[in-house]
C-alpha cells in the first residue's frame, strides 16, 4: 500500500513539474515575440524617413521678382566695374565703385535669402547686361561717361518703380523686408545718378 502511494505522489510531482515547464516555455515565447516585435517596431521607426518640408516657399510671382532682382543686381555690379576701370570723370568712377559695393552687398543678402527658401539664383548677369556692357565697352572718354550715367539713370528709374511695386505685391515676409530695406538705397542711387549725369552731359 505504501508503495502504491509513493508511486502516485511521484507521478503527481512529475505532472506538476511538466506543467510548470510548459508555462515557462509559453511565457518565454511570449517574451521573445514581444522583444522581436519591439525590435522590429524600433527599426521601422528608425528607418522611416521624416516628412520633409517643401523646399520652395515663394509664390510664382515672388520667384519671378527675386530672379529679376538678382539679374539686375549682377548687371549693376558688372557695369560698375566697367565704369571704375574706364571712366575719365572721377564722379563717374566713384559712382561705379559705389554700384559694385552697394549692389554686391544687396546681391549677397538676396542670395542668402533665396537659399533659405530653397531657391538658386543666377550667378551671371543676363543678356541685357551683356548687351549694355558691349555697347559701353565700345565707347571711350567722355562718351563713355555720358553713356554710362545715362544708362544708370534709366536703369535706376526702372529699379525704383519695380521695387515700389514689389513692396506692395510681394507675399513672402522675408522678401518683402529685403525689398523695403533695399528701396531707399536704390532711390539714393537714382538721385546721385541724375546729379552725376548732369555734370557729364555737356
pLDDT in tens, 134-144: 999 999 999 99
* pLDDT tens figures, 144-194: 999 999 999 999 999 999 999 999 999 999 999 999 999 999 999 999 999
SS3 state of residue 3: helix
Q: Is 86 helix (H, G, I), strand (E, B) or coil?
A: helix
What would the mean pLDDT of 90-94 be, rounded to a whole number?
97
pLDDT at 45 over 80: no
Average pLDDT of every residue of the chain: 80
Cα separations (Å) of 148 from 31, 69, 125?
83, 20, 17
CB atoms under 10 Å from CB of 129, counted, come to 19
CATH 1.20.1260.10 describes domain 60-201: yes
**Residue in the block written with cell 531657391:** 119
Task: Find where cell 512529475 sits.
Answer: 14
The structural domains of the chain, with segments of one domain joined by +, span 1-48, 60-201
Q: Please name which of 53, 82, 72 lies closest in space to residue 148, comparing C-alpha atoms.
A: 82
Cβ atoms of residues 167 and 180 within 8 Å: yes
- Max distance between CA atoms of the chain, in angstroms, equals 142
CA distance 99 to 135: 19
CA distance 137 to 47: 59
Amino acid at each position: 500500500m505504501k508503495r502504491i502511494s509513493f508511486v502516485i505522489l511521484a507521478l503527481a510531482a512529475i505532472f506538476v513539474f511538466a506543467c510548470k515547464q510548459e508555462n515557462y516555455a509559453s511565457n518565454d515565447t511570449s517574451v521573445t515575440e514581444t522583444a522581436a516585435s519591439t525590435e522590429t517596431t524600433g527599426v521601422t521607426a528608425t528607418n522611416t524617413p521624416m516628412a520633409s518640408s517643401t523646399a520652395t516657399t515663394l509664390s510664382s510671382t515672388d520667384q519671378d521678382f527675386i530672379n529679376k532682382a538678382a539679374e539686375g543686381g549682377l548687371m549693376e555690379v558688372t557695369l560698375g566695374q566697367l565704369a571704375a576701370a574706364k571712366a575719365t570723370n572721377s564722379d563717374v568712377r566713384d559712382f561705379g565703385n559705389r554700384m559694385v559695393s552697394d549692389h554686391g552687398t544687396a546681391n549677397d543678402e538676396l542670395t542668402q535669402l533665396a537659399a533659405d527658401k530653397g531657391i538658386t539664383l543666377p550667378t551671371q548677369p543676363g543678356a541685357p547686361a551683356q548687351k549694355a556692357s558691349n555697347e559701353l565697352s565700345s565707347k571711350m572718354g567722355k562718351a563713355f561717361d555720358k553713356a554710362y550715367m545715362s544708362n544708370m539713370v534709366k536703369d535706376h528709374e526702372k529699379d525704383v518703380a519695380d521695387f515700389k511695386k514689389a513692396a506692395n505685391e510681394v507675399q513672402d515676409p522675408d522678401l518683402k523686408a529685403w525689398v523695403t530695406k533695399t528701396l531707399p538705397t536704390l532711390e539714393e542711387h537714382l538721385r546721385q545718378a541724375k546729379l552725376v549725369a548732369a555734370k557729364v552731359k555737356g
